[in-house]
Amino acid sequence: MLNETMTALGKHRSTIREIFEYGNRRAVEVGRENVFDFSIGNPSVPAPDAVRQAMLAEAAGDPVALHGYTSAPGAADARQALADDLNRRFSTDYTADNLYLTAGAAAALSCAFKAMACPGDEFVVLAPYFPEYKMFIEQGAGGKCVVVPPSVTDFQIDFDALAQRLNQKTKAVVINSPNNPSGVVYTEATIQRLAALLRDKARAFGHPIYLISDEPYREIVYDGLTVPFVPHYYEDTVVCYSYSKSLSLPGERIGYVLVPPRATDSGDLYAAVCGAGRALGYICAPSLFQRIAARCANMTSDISVYQTCRDLLYDGLVEMGYTCVKPEGAFYLFPQTLEPDDRAFCERAKQYDLLLVPGVDFGAPGHMRISYCVQPDTIRRALPLFGKLAEDYRK
Ligand code: PLP
């Protein structure tokens, strides 16, 4: 007898993966250039050349140390280098002991949830949200995932809806800004209001409510925007970060959990994150990329191409009559579908080989996610097809 839930999870891919695999099959039939795969968030710009240089420099060193286990939270010098980078950018005073290095943000989130979850605990996520949260919270950590419906006019936070869902059992609220799938960046006013609400509720319930800030897109913002650094606004913040997007290294699996020293029970919480990593069998984050991240933490890939894509796609779709909140970061657009049934709409889009992800998967039905981490030319060639699709709905 096997674990039925895990067997089912293994047999059914996520919708995003399903569409991505469909795109690969379709590419064999009609040619890669005729398939407009907007399904997956795989960075389309290369890692900075400094990453290659750092790999070469590391490869010239001691191969035993290079490929060996590091200490479980990550090599102390790599953690200190990442803490120094944060301190430089955000005027903080973090040390190696505040950082636990992980195999990307997915592992960081899994460790944070498992570190916190006690029987009956609830974790609140705000739609539209990254679908794997539910998996990590419920299947990984044994918590309950509570969803706050989206504020569809601007994709900031619906505070009344959030307040209604906070209760004695709330262990943490999860935010993700810049957001996948909406591309929206929470304003400073939103973060301040959120901090005030959580402080009030924590006082009323007599226990801390942690804020888990999932930030793999922190550096990917447009028009010179600055993303508020959440721990400055709310002390009980835990940051989950990844170099998958900022350095275009998603396959290398490197990120971290930051437990700031001023968070409630910081020392024990950090220990619990380490314990969760141990329970989940992570051992240590990939050792070569701990070193690469330490050397390249202050850089990003050339993200200007994402802004070109955002502008082309947003302007093009709005001109055709699609309704969309203008994204200010990440590399996703989240327009309304032209019929309420977003799954049916995305199925219809396949007739034009436009591969889009239904919003219902992110807790926001009636929308579609378009990942525009593609070449600008792909968008130029896809726009007329979005036009034909819109025409179909006018007939
Ligand atoms: N969180 C969000 C919002 C994401 O979009 C992703 C990946 O797309 C992750 C977490 C997981 O990132 P990683 O590749 O670092 O595990």
Is residue 357's pLDDT more than 90? yes
Pick from 134, 174, 180 the residue to mutate for probing ligand 1's pocket: most ligand atoms within 8 Å of its CB: 180
* Separation of alpha carbons 230 and 190, rounded Å: 11
For the chain, the residue count is 395
Is residue 15's pLDDT more than 90? no
**Is residue 44 in contact with ligand 1, taking CB distance under 6 Å?**
no
Nearest to 102 by CA among 243, 307, 217: 243
DSSP state of 61: S
State the amino acid at position 221 in one-letter form.
V
**Is residue 329 in contact with ligand 1, taking CB distance under 6 Å?**
no
Give the up-direction half-sphere exposure of residue 61: CA atoms within 13 A in the CB hemisphere: 12
Residue 395, Cβ density class (10 Å: 0-12 exposed, 13-18 middle, ≥19 buried): exposed
**Is residue 122 in contact with ligand 1, taking CB distance under 6 Å?**
no
Distance 279 CA to ligand 1 centre (A): 21
Contact of 143 with 137, CB cutoff 8 Å = yes
pLDDT band with cut points at 50, 70 and 90 for residue 152:
very high
pLDDT band with cut points at 50, 70 and 90 for residue 321:
very high
Distance 216 CA to ligand 1 centre (A): 6
The tens digit of pLDDT for each residue in 40-64 reads 889 999 999 999 999 999 999 888 8
Strands 210-214, 170-175: pairing is parallel
**Is residue 104 in contact with ligand 1, taking CB distance under 6 Å?**
yes
pLDDT value, residue 151: 94
Average pLDDT, the chain: 96
- Token output for 89: 């950018």
**Is residue 130 in contact with ligand 1, taking CB distance under 6 Å?**
yes
Report pTM. Answer: 0.96
Distances (CA, A) of 77 to 42, 71, 83, 287: 29, 11, 10, 12
Nearest to 368 by CA among 314, 311, 324, 309: 324
Distance 149 CA to ligand 1 centre (A): 21
pLDDT band with cut points at 50, 70 and 90 for residue 335:
very high
pLDDT value, residue 255: 98
- Measured distance between the N- and C-terminal CA atoms of the chain, rounded to whole angstroms: 54
Distance 113 CA to ligand 1 centre (A): 15
Is residue 11's pLDDT more than 90? no
- Reduced to 3 states (helix: H, G, I; strand: E, B; else coil), residue 391 is helix
Contact of 280 with 272, CB cutoff 8 Å = no
The tens digit of pLDDT for each residue in 86-97 reads 999 999 999 999
Kindly write down the DSSP assignment for every residue of 337-380, as one continuous string: PSSS-HHHHHHHHGGGTEE-EEGGGGT-TTBEEEE--S-HHHHH
The tens digit of pLDDT for each residue in 236-294 reads 999 999 999 999 999 999 999 999 999 999 999 999 999 999 999 999 999 999 999 99
Distance 331 CA to ligand 1 centre (A): 12
* Separation of alpha carbons 233 and 195, rounded Å: 6
pLDDT value, residue 41: 87
